[in-house]
Structure formats: C-alpha cells, structure tokens
A and B are shown apart, each in its own frame.
Chain A
Amino acid sequence: MKNKILMFWFIVLVVIVSTALIFVKPTKLGLDLVGGSRLLLEAETTDTIAKITPDVMNRLQFAIEQRVNKLGVAETVVQQVGEKRLLIEIPNVTDLKEAKAFIGETAQLEFKREGKAADGTPIWESTGLTGRDLAKSTLSTDATGQWVVSLDFNAEGAKKFADLTKELVGQQMAIFFDGELQSAPRVNEAIYGGKAQISGGESGFAYDEAERMVNLLNAGALPVPAKIVEENTVGPTLGADSVAKSKKAGMIGLSAVMLFMILYYRVPGVIADIALIIYSLILFALFKTIPVTLTLAGIAGFILSIGMAVDANILIFERTKEELRAGRNLFTAINSGFDRAFTSIFDSNMTTIITCTILYLLGTSVVKGFALTLAIGVAVSMFSAITVTKNFMHLIFGTGELKHPELFGLKKDEIGQSYEAVETKREKARFGILD
C-alpha cells in the first residue's frame, strides 16, 4: 500500500510538471498550420563542378542561408537533406513567387570579353573576373539619375579589373548576370581603384531590379545552380482553418471516447478517462519540450494514439471483468487483469513502434511528423494506461471482495458463472491468489 501511495504522488508530480511545461513552453506549429513555404532544392553539377561534394553543399547552404535571412522572416530553416538537397522552410512569407526567384537565383556575375568561336562567329569569352572578386555591392544613381549597381572589388579583384581594362581599351567588355547580358560598355581607359558600375543597358534598371541584384551580389553567388524539386506552400488562412478544425475534431473525438468509456466500463471507465487526460497532458508537455513541430499529419498521429491508449485500458478492463466473473476478489482480479493484458499490449505496441521507426527513417517530412507523434504517444500510453490506471484502480477499489458489481458494469448473477481461470503456481503467487 505504501508503494501505491508513493506512486500516486509521483503521478501527481508528473501532472504538475507537465501542466507547468505546457504553460511555459511555446507550441511549435508546422508550416501547414501557420502558413508558409517548404522548398526542397537540389544542387546541379556544372561544367566546372562535376561532383557535388560536402564542401560544395556547405557553401551552397551558406549562400542560401544568407539569402533566406535577407527575406527578413523569423524562424527560417535551411538544412541539408541527403547528399545534394537543401530543405528550406520559410513561415509567413508574403510574396512567395518573389522569394522563390530570389532564393533560386544562381547570382553568377561574370565579366566577359569579345572573342571568336572556332568557326569565326563572334562570342563573349570568360575573363576570369567574377562575382567572387567582389568586396561589396551598393545601390546608387549615375549622373543622369538612373539606378546603377556599384561594385567594389577586393584587392585581388581590383588588380584583375585594372589589368583587364588596360588590355581592353577600345574594346567592349560585357557584364553577365546569371548568363544574361546586362550591359556591354566600351572601355575608354584602364580603370584603377577597384570600382565599377553596372548600368542596365539602354533601358536602364528599375529600382527593384537593381536592388535585387545588389542583395544577391552581397549574399554571394551559389557555387552551383540549385533548382526546386519539391514545394509545399500553405496560405495562412488555410493554416488557421486547419488548426481550428483539428482542435474541434480532437475535442469532439476525445469527449465521445470518454463518454463511451464511462457508459461501458463505469468506474474503471472514469479512471481510464482521467488517465487519458493525464496522457494528453504528458504528451503535450513532451511535444513542447523536445520540441516536436506539430503538423496536420502529426495531429492525426496524436488523435490515433488516443485510440491506442484507450485500447490498452479496454484490454485490461475486459480481462479484469473476466476475472471478476470468475469470482475473484478485487485485488486479484485487477492484478491479473493487468498482468494478462500486458503481453498483448506490449507486443502490439512494439509492432506500432517498428512501423513508426521505418516511417521516420524513410518517410518525407510530413510522414516523419506523423510517425514521431504516434511513437511518442504509444510510449507515453504504456505509462498512462498501465501504471496510472493500475494505481488508481488499487487505491479506489482496495483489496476486498466485489460488493457492487455494477461499478464495473457487471450484473450480480454473472459473478461466478464464468470461465475457470487456470494459473500455474508461479502466477498464483504473483497475482496473490489464495486457494
């Protein structure tokens, strides 16, 4: 009895800690609930970079992070997935089209000179001077009030630029941005001092265009081009709608299950309901502490795990009722009910955890969320549905004979009518059966 009271206070403690954690910690909601964008980028090889190495990926990640940060949105995520992919999450993005174009742009700045192809047609040849030689870029206007992009070269870049312009006096020098010709001014004299300007050619730059180029140049070019292979965007309206609906559905589902348990199992049903509430508290506290990002699929996993938590109690109560029908006293019936149901509960939960593990390892991020919440749910239910319920059952019913079978939803004449429970000596000792 002393152990049981200790256990009771331990459960109370767990509940208090969980409740406190729920109030203190914020809930992390997934992009499908708050609205936002999830992009999967895949790095592509180029002529110069034939293999995507971890180093290339790190540089790509860094460059993309710089750009994502420029969007000015909090809680963005940029992480590597597999060997050549980057996962980007941007919550609350307002202009997705713009953001996508901004992130995916290779931003390769190149200076080219006139040359001739093998068959004699004129082409632009690389000079070796690129965006990598830049120190920084700023937005400014030229004498006529047109928007221009000013470039400051670093020491090496300044030297290259000076040499190049010296060589090209009287010729055209072309500036390419992402393979697109921006302008091709004629070089009048060698330029020292490491400064240059890009004007938008004959039509000039619009403000937005110039500003975007400046931002991209400052964030740095991507080492390799990256294209979007998967996208998931959810508007904030749909997200809020899903949260509201999931809450409502969860509440209705939970209440209906609790009502069913009370109607069918009576007092043990009430205990199972309390255990279910404790279960939800612990689970939410864990979700917030770990933290687990709650997605729509995650919520579905949680709701399903309620079903499994209740299942454990149903199994136990059915066994306990059988034992009571066989005329056992309360203490023995409760103990053997729990003990006999345990192997079923354990085995079935293990198979659920096996499938969850596989889903978590192989699934997409949506599936991962589902598997994680379900697995945590199943693990917690082993505590709530077994330890908590058993403790409460013993504390409430004590050790006497069953005097009020209606408390278990049993009829008086059912008692002693049922199957003969057969136990080995060892089991009898364990359940506390005295012959």
Chain B
Amino acid sequence: MINTGRKHLVHVVKYRWIWMILTSILLIPGIIAMIYSAVTYPNHSPLKVGIDYTGGTILQYGLEQKLENSDVTKTREALESVGVENPYIQILNVNTSQQENTKSNINSIISIRTKFIAENSEESDKITEELQKTYTNPELISVSSVGPTMGKELFKNSLIALALAFLGIIAYLSFRFRFDYALAAILGIFHDVVFVVGVFSILGLEIDGLFITAILTVIGFSVHDTIVVFDRIRENLRYYSKKMSFGEIVDASVNQTLTRSINTSLTTLITLLALYFWGGVTTRDFVLAMILGIAIGTYSSIFFCSMLIDFWNDKGKQPVSA
C-alpha cells in the first residue's frame, strides 16, 4: 500500500457518484443559461458577443463624476433621440481607493457600443456632442472599432485556435501518456470551458478576443494540473500496479498531489485576485474568466479527470499496468 502519511482527504473513486452529481450541479445552470440566451437573444447566440466578433464600435469616455445606473437609460435615450441606432451603454465605476497613486481624476467610465462607425462618419462626433451636453468634460479615452467582415474573420480564427490547441494537447498527451489519459484531460478542459462560458452567460458578460485568450490560458492551466495528477498515477503504477487496484492507485495519487494542486491554484489565484481588485477596469472580465477557470480547473483535475480514467480502467478491480 502507498502510505501517504495521513488519512486520505478526498475519495475520488469511492464517492464517484458524488463527484458526477457535483459536476452536473456546476455545469447545468450555465448550460441552461446558454440555451435560454440562444432562444431569447435576437441573434440566437448563447452568449453576449463583443464587437471583436460581431463588428461594431465602442467609444469610452472618462468622467469626473460618479454615475448612477439611471444614467444608462438617460444616455441611451439622449443618443437615440439624435439618431444613434441601438446604442448599448455600460458604466464602469472606478474604485476611488485605486486612484491614490494615479494622477488621473477619472471616476467613472461610460462605454457606448454602436454598430460599426466607418471612417469620416459624423456618428462619433454626434455622440461626443450629446455627451458634452449631459456631462461635464467627458474625455474620449478609447475607441475600438471592428469592421463587420473583420469580425467574422476574427471569430473563425479564434475557433481554429481553440481547435488546434485541443488537438495539440491531445497529440502531446497521447505521446507522453496514453490516449485515454489525453481524452480524460480533454474532457476535463471541456468541463472547465463549459463552466466558465456558462457563468459568463448567466452574468450576461460579453465575450471578446481577450476572453478567448483567457479560455486558452485556462485550458493550459487545467491541463497543467491534470498532468501533475496523471504523472503521479503513472509513477505509482510503475511501482504498485501489482499490489494495488487501479482505483486505489488513483486515489493515492490524487491525495499525494492534493497539497500541491491547492497551493498552486492558490498562488495563481492570489496574483489574479490582485489584478482583479487593483488592476485596470478594462481587463476585469478577462481576469474574472481566468479566476473562474483556474478554480474549476483545479476541481476538474482532482475529481473529474481522475474519476474518468478510473471509470474507464476499472475492470473488475484487477491490477493493471500502464
């Protein structure tokens, strides 16, 4: 028997069904939200898609005053009255405690999203003029604009990138481990991605190019975690496969790597939380996606992926060799 020096803290194999149910509880609300959005949103997409993929223009203005939620409606109506079509307004309040070390006196940011504003168009002037009427000294701090054809192309590229990342990881893991390990790791990634995307769907947050980056990072991290557990299983199989069942080895390996899995996620989450609370407002959703992904990635590598390979290998509790 592998003696890990303490009682097993988690029982992956014994309470298999608990982990399967917990996984379902984690994933199903997000999936429901996505289906609901796909049915109710006018463009039938399971998530709010940012201008990176749909095309459009976002103008952001920095304001000295704090804004209320009622300002959203007020501004939207004002803009619609001058002929801006379907403006989507968002307000980001800047935490004043963050301002200590910065010279800027911007206390809130109002972000206005419209359809793609072509060059030489009067549209952006109209918006600026309208805001100058309502607020004191709005400062145009950023403009992002993506043409409609460009958006489609970016979307295609992101999907290709995701697919290639999946294939690359499967290929590498099949080469270093075995195909069923690779498959478990990929299902683990899938699990994590569905969770993060589901939460974004529930919260109604927009996905953009940075979101895809966050997802790819989460994928990297989740595989990272899973590999550490699998590596330990592989090592233990080498020494104990004749004495213990596959399930016992999986359980022992998960427990041996438990402290490491938690500590690593903890240190990464510490840096991410610092970015979330003290970093710029513009990357907040990006960081949130990573926080969610890394937390769920740790869960999936400990419980979900190990459970899967045990599930596949559990044939009559006989010693197995890898």
Contacts and interface: CB of A to CB of B under 8 A. Distances in A.
Interface of A: 40, 42, 96-97, 100-101, 104, 227-235, 237-238, 240-242, 244-246, 248-250, 252-254, 256-257, 260-261, 264, 296-297, 300, 303-304, 306-308, 310-311, 314-315, 318, 322, 325, 340, 343-344, 347-352, 354-359, 362-364, 366-367, 370-371, 374, 414, 417-420, 422
A173 B4 CA distance: 95
B267 A348 contact: no
Nearest to B208: A366
B275 interface: yes
Given A245-B280, A322-B256, A374-B217, A232 B274 contact: no
Contacts of B69: none
26 contacts: A96-B143, A227-B118, A231-B144, A232-B145, A233-B144, A235-B139, A237-B104, A237-B139, A241-B280, A248-B98, A249-B279, A253-B270, A260-B266, A307-B267, A314-B264, A318-B260, A344-B231, A347-B172, A355-B216, A366-B209, A367-B212, A367-B213, A371-B213, A419-B3, A419-B4, A420-B3
B271 A231 contact: no
A245 B98 contact: yes
B260 A314 contact: yes
Given A242-B280, A355-B168, A420-B3, 7 more contacts: A228-B147, A257-B267, A311-B264, A322-B5, A340-B235, A348-B224, A355-B219
A211 B112 CA distance: 34
Interface stretch (B31-39, B77-85, B153-161, B304-312): B153-161
A253 B271 contact: yes
Interface size class of B (residues with CB under 8 A): 35 or more
Give the interface SS of chain A, mostly helix, strand, loop or mixed. Answer: helix
Contacts of A240: 102-104
Give the interface SS of chain B, mostly helix, strand, loop or mixed. Answer: helix
Contacts of A364: 52, 154, 157, 209
Interface of B: 2-5, 52, 57, 60, 62, 98, 101-104, 106, 118-120, 124-125, 139-147, 149-150, 154, 157-158, 160-161, 164-165, 168-169, 172-173, 176, 209-210, 212-213, 216-217, 219-221, 223-225, 227-228, 231-232, 235, 239-240, 256-257, 259-260, 263-264, 266-268, 270-275, 277-280, 282-283, 286-287, 290
A296 B264 CA distance: 24
A101 B290 CA distance: 39
Centre residue among B259, B267, B268, B273 by max chain A CB count within 10 A = B267
A228 B142 contact: no
Given A241-B102, A363-B161, A253 B119 contact: no
Contact of B213 (A248, A254, A363, A418): A363
A340 B260 CA distance: 14
A354 B169 contact: yes
A315 B228 contact: yes
Contact of B227 (A347, A359, A420): A347
Which 3 A-B pairs have CB atoms at the shortest separation, nearest pair first?
Answer: A307-B268, A253-B274, A253-B271
Contacts of A315: 228, 260, 264
A68 B123 CA distance: 25
A245 B277 CA distance: 10
A344 B118 CA distance: 51
A357 B168 CA distance: 10
Nearest to B277: A249
Nearest to A255: B274
Contacts of B225: 348
A235 B140 contact: yes
Nearest to A306: B271
Given A229-B146, A260-B266, A246 B213 contact: no
Given A242-B282, A303-B275, A419 B5 contact: yes
A249 B101 CA distance: 12
A340 B217 CA distance: 25
A271 to B, nearest CB: 15
B104 A422 contact: no
Nearest to A309: B267
A235 B141 contact: yes
Contact of A310 (B106, B144, B216, B264): B264
Contact of A231 (B5, B145, B274): B145
A253 B268 CA distance: 9
A235 B168 contact: no
Given A104-B119, A325-B5, A355 B165 contact: yes
B150 A256 contact: no
Contacts of A230: 145-147, 150
